[in-house]
Amino acid sequence: MKEKIINLPLTKKDVMGLHAGDVVLINGTIVTGRDKIHKFLFYERPSKKDIPFNLSGTVLYHCGPIVRKLDSSYKVIASGPTTSIRVETYEHRIISSYGIRGVMGKGGMCERTLEAMKKNGCVYFHTIGGAAAYLADRVKKVVDVWKLEEFGAPEAMWVMEVENFPAIVTMDAHGRSLHSDIAKISGSALKKLIWKTS
Amino acid sequence: MLKLRDGIVELYRKVATSLPPDVEDALKAARVSEKKGSNARHALEVILENIRIARETARPICQDTGVPVFYVKTPIGLSRIELEKTIIEATRIATEKVPLRPNAVDVITDKNTGDNTGIGFPIIYFRETPESTLSIDLMLKGSGCENVGQTYKLPKEELKADRDLDGVRKCVLDAIHRAQGRGCSPYTIGVGIGAAKDQVTRLAKEQLMRRLTDTNNIEVLFKLEKRLLKEINTLGIGPIGFGGKTTALGVKIGVNHRHPASYFVDISVCCWANRRGRLIW
């Protein structure tokens, strides 16, 4: 398996060069965001200058990590992905408003997000659900955190530097989704199993 | 109770940071059954490597330490009030010490309590037994897989599912197709059949405490479990939903008597990280 090396931030041109099925290793600064961050960005619509970091070209990782507070910093103990479909309602606007070039999580997303990815130049990186210790070892540093008090540790926006963070592109900016391919396969297998009399 | 409290903290650590051998063995067997170079095989390799790292570094396997569920079997005469207090105290300590991710969120204020305790959190079920020992089973049930669980009422026309075990079979297949890989396959699947909604959801989840290698002592259910496992693995969802042969590791079915008018089927799905353990006291 030959991995493509991704260095953040990504440009639209970089994104167009990625295709569903590509295995990648991500390097650079990413941000986490899950249910509360998405709801907040969607309804409150903070302007880019109200967000303490630049989200343009970065990867928004659906993850609620376990983080330990050290004297003057934080250490990530476990940081696997959370299920992305829960933020399907919000993601399209987050992509178009904040210039995110990658959404990372598990389980994939649906039509509205795929459309927004195609329109704005963004991809979905699927990482391995539950592989939290393995993935935490690829987080080199916690750079910053936002909304920690208000949303709590799992739901805060953590800014992290990652090195060789492994993922597979499962939805690309060309409109292809491996998730809908697999769902079609299992859907037709299901039909056979259900209509087969026992 | 202090010693028991520390024992429960250790139970938390063991369950959060290591998998039962039957689950790890099933994952290893799945790895060799997937095609070399496939995404499915890659996913299982990362999963197995993650299990090793977590065990060796005593870190949680998954960042979602889930909703802790306790199944406590008490000998006659032991105070449940004291036991409940001890479990809650152990939960607070384990959250800090292991560490576990704090997951208890107040529904009214939306604030995280920070220590995994709250109203009905953790979940504790008691049952009195004639045995002289206290037995505490703990399951850490991740929420990604909890969210893909389903409850069905039979009959269900669109699935051609009647009020019989073949109808149950169709519900389970439908639920897994709907789940795709979103709950972190390969799954362990608990099924509960019976008269009332609250009863079947509990029964289904309780099945997840069974070893993958055990056999259902009801012959018909044993056969259905085997058949379902085989059929689910033809759906092509595969590990993590990447496609492949291993969508499930096991199917476990439990039954209660039902009411003539009701036929509830609950399907409780557990991610590959089927974290369970027992403390005997």
Q: Would you tell me which residues 40-59 of chain A have a C-beta closer than 8 angstroms to some C-beta of chain B?
A: none
* Chain B residues touching residue A131 (CB < 8 angstroms): 46-47, 49-50
- pLDDT tens string B152-162: 999 999 999 99
- Tokens of residue A82, six digits: 């959370």
As a whole number, the mean pLDDT across chain B is 97
- Phi then psi for A144, rounded to 5 degrees? -165, 170
- Cβ distance B61 to A132 less than 8 Å, yes or no, reads yes
**How many Cβ atoms sit within 10 Å of the Cβ of residue B242?**
24
Q: How far is A149 from chain B (nearest CA, A)?
A: 9
Q: How far apart are CA A112 and CA A108, in angstroms?
A: 12
Q: Which of A1, A65, A132 is nearest residue B50 as measured by Cβ atoms?
A: A132
**How many Cβ atoms sit within 10 Å of the Cβ of residue A184?**
11
Domain ranges of chain A: 4-195
Q: Judge whether B250 and B185 are in contact, CB under 8 Å.
A: no
Q: CB of A68 within 8 Å of any CB in chain B?
A: yes
Q: How far apart are CA A182 and CA B185, in angstroms?
A: 13
Max CA pair span of chain A:
64
Q: CB of A183 within 8 Å of any CB in chain B?
A: yes
Chain B residue with Cα closest to A84: B182
- pLDDT tens string B179-234: 999 999 999 999 999 999 999 999 999 999 999 999 999 999 999 999 999 999 99
Q: How far apart are CA A96 and CA A84, in angstroms?
A: 17
Torsion of CA B229, B231, B235, B240, to 10 degrees: 0
Q: CB of B66 within 8 Å of any CB in chain A?
A: no
State the ipTM, two decimals: 0.93
Q: How far apart are CA B100 and CA B63, in angstroms?
A: 8
- pLDDT tens string A50-98: 999 999 999 999 999 999 999 989 999 999 999 999 999 999 999 999 9
- Beta strand spans in B38-165 (E): 67-75, 123-129, 135-141, 150-153
Burial (Cβ within 10 Å: 0-12, 13-18, ≥19) of residue A133:
buried
- Cβ distance B101 to A64 less than 8 Å, yes or no, reads yes
**pLDDT, position A197:** 58
Question: Which residues lie below 8 Å from residue A73, measured CB to CB, with a gap of 6+?
Answer: A142
Q: Judge whether B9 and B94 are in contact, CB under 8 Å.
A: yes
Q: Is residue A198 over pLDDT 60?
A: no
Q: Judge whether A109 and A88 are in contact, CB under 8 Å.
A: yes
* Chain B residues touching residue A177 (CB < 8 angstroms): none
Architecture label for domain A4-195? Alpha-Beta Barrel (3.20)
Q: CB of A22 within 8 Å of any CB in chain B?
A: no
Q: Give me the amino acid identity at A193.
A: L
- Cβ distance B144 to A108 less than 8 Å, yes or no, reads no
**pLDDT, position B1:** 75
Chain A residue with Cα closest to B185: A129
Q: Judge whether B100 and B60 are in contact, CB under 8 Å.
A: yes
Query: Three-state SS for B156?
Result: strand
Question: Which residues lie below 8 Å from residue B260, measured CB to CB, with a gap of 6+?
Answer: none
Closest Cα partner for A135 from A7, A57, A32, A11? A32
Q: Which of B49, B112, B271 is nearest residue A134 as measured by Cβ atoms?
A: B49
Q: Which residues of A59-85 are buried (b: 16+ CB within 10 A; e: fewer)?
A: bbbbbbbbbeeeeeebebbbbbbbbbb
Q: Would you tell me which residues 108-147 of chain B have a C-beta closer than 8 angstroms to some C-beta of chain A?
A: 110-112, 114, 142, 144, 147
